[in-house]
Amino acid sequence: MKKLNCWEFKKCGRQFGGEKVSELGLCPVVIEISLEGTHDGESGGRACWVLEGTICKGYIHGNFIEKQRECEKCDFYEYVKQQEGNNFLSIATLLKIIEDYNNREL
């Protein structure tokens, strides 16, 4: 069974070529390369709860702190958590992956 990314599961339309990109902009999840492959997803598509600027309940969420409680109640978060089981990466681990990627030497 294919593991869905958030834009496939939630059908937000903010992915490349999505029907809501002109209205709401391209979602930062689809360009977050530091999380490529995380939970077998594309870009940040299976770890969207640690990224700013995602949409939920019709509005774009701000920073990580503001959105975290809502994300932990999200059906997609639970979907990924259930699929990954013991391989589900903690929020701290995901944030460390992003930090390490951003601090890498080029």
Q: At 84, give phi and psi (nearest 5°).
A: -80, -25
Element (H, E) at 83: helix 75-84
- Write the pLDDT tens digit of every residue in 7-37: 999 999 999 999 999 999 999 999 999 999 9
Domain range list for the chain: 10-102
- Write the pLDDT tens digit of every residue in 23-79: 999 999 999 999 999 999 999 999 999 999 898 877 787 777 878 888 889 999 999
Q: Which residues contact residue 37 at a Cβ distance below 8 angstroms, ignoring those fewer than 6 apart?
A: none
